[in-house]
Amino acid sequence: MAENVIYVRSTRAKVREKIARSIAAASGRNGDAHDASVAMQVRIGMTALAHIKDAFITKARGGTDESGLSWPKLSPKTIAYSRRHPGVPPAKQRAAFRPSWMITEKQRQRWWYLYRIGLARSKGDKNKAAAYAWATIKREGAKTLLGVYGNTQVEILRDTGLLLNSLSPGVNPGSVESQVFDVQPGECIIGTNRKHAASHHDGIPGRLPQRKLWPDPDNWPESWWADIDDQASAGLIDILTYLLRTS
């Protein structure tokens, strides 16, 4: 960080007093230099968000972030059936074309015909009947969402982009949709209240693998803390400068 020099005409005792007050103001213990104190906390929060955003992108692309976190890959089924693909309608609209939106009307009629045969042969076992129908029409050239899109390269947790956006620094703190950015005396709380974000961050045993959106603060890389320290130091200097100039 560049050296900062502040020129002021005052006694050493008063300067020491101002330094002590600036530290108290920065920690939220008094109301001196409130605007400068808030600005410092905002700078710290924005810096933390910038690192969280960059780490998110790294993990979304299958990499490992500076803290050592990486995310489990998406399964082919998730990619095929849950992600958006050009020209493919949402799942609710596709439901009207059971068993699959991907097959033609002629193939659909053929599938149901084979399915009924499979039910009779398997004594009502729906899974075996469906497997028989699919195996037959795929041999005959039918395509499935899984077969066409299951191996598509997509970024993890970046379907709509809204989750990443909620964890990105904005022009005005807290103005980004679903973003948590709350400045209180002595602290800055950042995060997201985007739907399902907590489920991804914590994971759901047996249903959803854990994909931590950010590492625990104790595991934040030194480079993150160095940048945060720089912003805190700059903010403290701004507070001290304000107090010295208004003495």
pLDDT tens per residue across span 120-149: 999 999 999 999 999 999 999 999 999 999
- How far is Cα 73 from Cα 18, in angstroms, rounded to an integer? 54
Mean pLDDT, residues 174-193: 89
Residue 3 lies in a domain: no
Q: Is residue 2 in a domain?
A: no
Tens digit of pLDDT for each residue in 41-82? 888 999 999 999 999 999 999 999 999 999 999 999 999 999
Specify the number of domains making up the chain.
Answer: 2
The reply to whether 16 and 43 lie within a common domain is yes
- Return the pLDDT at 15: 47
CA distance 17 to 157: 50
Domain limit, last residue, from 96, 120, 149 = 149
Decide: helix, strand or coil at residue 140. Answer: coil
Q: CA 54 to CA 51: how far, in whole Å? A: 5
Same domain, 59 and 167: yes
Domain assignment of residue 34, given as a range: 12-66+156-245
| pTM exceeds cut of 0.85 | no
For the chain, where are the alpha helices, taking DSSP H only? 12-26, 34-60, 76-82, 91-94, 105-121, 126-139, 145-149, 162-166, 197-202, 222-245
pLDDT digits (tens, 9 = 90+) for 196-208: 999 999 999 999 9
- The whole-angstrom separation of Cα 239 and Cα 26 is 7
Q: Calculate what percentage of the chain has a pLDDT beyond 70.
A: 84
- Whether residue 1 lies inside any domain: the answer is no
Question: How many other C-beta atoms lie within 10 A of the C-beta of residue 71?
Answer: 22
**Single residue among 91, 116, 149 that ends a domain in this structure:** 149
- The mean pLDDT of 158-179, rounded to a whole number, is 89
The Cα-based distances of 71 to 21, 63, 152, 194, 214 in angstroms read 45, 8, 17, 19, 11
